Homo-oligomer: A and B are copies of this chain.
Amino acid sequence: MKKTSTRLADGRELMYFDARDDVVRDAPDLRPLEATTTASEIRYDPLLDEWVVIASHRQGRIYHPPANECPLCPSRDGRLSEIPAADYDVAVFENRFPSLTMAAAAATASTVLPGGSERLGADDLALTRPGVGRCEVVCFTSNHDASFADLTPQQVGLVLDAWTDRTAELSALPGVEQVFCFENRGAEIGVTLGHPHGQIYAYPFVTPRTERMLAAAAAHRRRTGRNLFDDLLAAERATQGTPGDRVVIAGEHWTAFVPHAAHWPYEVHLYPNRRVGDLLALNDAERAEFCTVYLDLLRRFDLLFDTPGNRTPYIAAWHQSPVGSAPGSGSELALHMELFTIRRTVGKLKFLAGSESGMDVFINDVSPETAAQRLREVSP
């Protein structure tokens, strides 16, 4: 794998990840692109004890461009895109409309609730901090019409290399506390660009979801002396061959299962059998098997519904330990991917309405055991 780092016309970083070591990536960005300004900030919600990103500059971002104006395709035939090269394997660049950016660090360090600052005082009821962090776009392939599931295992390996590289580099940025690699796929969940791509968010805080998992793992450690993720994975693997089997793929190095309390109609958690904290800790055998197991899983997802082109909308989310986790806290978190679809049956989506959005209580209309059985049956 060869990585080449360069800059786009407005100063944003662009990286190529190539399978061949002899590729030269020196095509300049010829667009007259002005640097964007961002007004991103993060605000503390004292009722829910969590940070919210306010990114009010993003309303003007590109929205469902026609295919011949795709900003993620290579630049060729006189059309200039976000990627100056005429072709690429995997390309990663800073989002032009980022929710979080290192440029925000230059903004005011902290402001408080206008008018209420005196009263709030040290209570920090209305904290505001600059939206420090970074948002990157990962182009999985130069083929506009492909899907992640269409990649070869070798191409997946290159994407995995890119995710791993970005996790390492973004973790080293000042203020970054968690790196999140994910893919949103499908217009049904709001994806505005059809080109196969994912995103990476480097957050300046540990996310609420991760905080909850760490708290649960710490409580489990206190109660049992064991790691929560180890016990969960063992318990789910033990369902194999029983009437309540929830395992979808049992590999040598990876296990994919529908969790006991799945929130989504079809939801699969994919764990390495050996617990590690993040992508950097995977060994060669684990990396190799991930490529085939993940492709198998994605292809099964695409076979779940009789939909145009067999493309199931999904969110794929890598859960990693926070940056610089202290032993015994963050290190409890097991690297894993959560893959789920909002589609519950042909033509019907799972909406997050009152119960989910109002009270965080998920209602799942598909039993996890049924979901697992279907996923085992639909053979790619």
Could you tell me which A residues sit within 8 Å of B by CB distance?
39, 43-56, 58-59, 63, 99, 113-116, 119-120, 123, 125-126, 128, 178, 180, 182-184, 189-191, 199, 201, 203, 207-210, 212-213, 215-216, 219-220, 223-224, 228, 231-232, 234-236, 238-245, 259-263, 315, 317, 338, 340, 344-345, 348-355, 357-368, 370
Contacts and interface: CB of A to CB of B under 8 A. Distances in A.
Contacts of A340: 357
The secondary-structure label for the interface of chain A is: mixed
Contact of A235 (B116, B182, B209): B116
Most buried by B among A56, A190, A349, A354: A354
A43 to B, nearest CB: 4
Chain copies in complex: 2
B50 A360 contact: yes
A338 B358 CA distance: 8
A232 to B, nearest CB: 6
Contacts of A52: 261-263, 361-364
A352 B352 contact: yes
A240 B55 contact: no
Contact of A213 (B48, B199, B244, B259): B48
Given A315-B357, A338-B358, A351-B190, A120 B180 contact: no
B240 A210 contact: no
Given A114-B239, A116-B238, A242-B114, A48 B260 contact: no
B368 A180 contact: no
Given A228-B46, A235-B113, A239-B114, A56 B365 contact: yes
A176 to B, nearest CB: 14
Contact of A183 (B50, B243, B354, B360): B354
Given A99-B355, A224-B123, A354-B180, A56 B367 contact: yes
B361 A260 contact: no
A57 B260 CA distance: 17
Most buried by B among A114, A180, A364: A114
Given A123-B224, A353-B191, A365 B116 contact: no
Given A115-B238, A238-B116, A215 B56 contact: no
A114 B235 CA distance: 9
A364 B53 CA distance: 6
Contacts of A183: 354
A190 B349 contact: yes
A32 to B, nearest CB: 26
Most buried by B among A51, A55, A116, A240: A116
A355 B203 CA distance: 10
A340 B356 CA distance: 13
A104 to B, nearest CB: 14
Most buried by B among A39, A49, A362: A362
A364 B55 contact: yes
A361 to B, nearest CB: 5
B190 A231 contact: no
Contact of A363 (B55, B119, B239): B55
Contact of A359 (B189, B210, B241, B357): B210
A119 B126 CA distance: 45
B232 A344 contact: no
A294 B352 CA distance: 23
Nearest to A205: B361
A180 to B, nearest CB: 6
Contacts of A59: 344-345, 365-366
A361 B120 CA distance: 24
A244 B54 contact: no
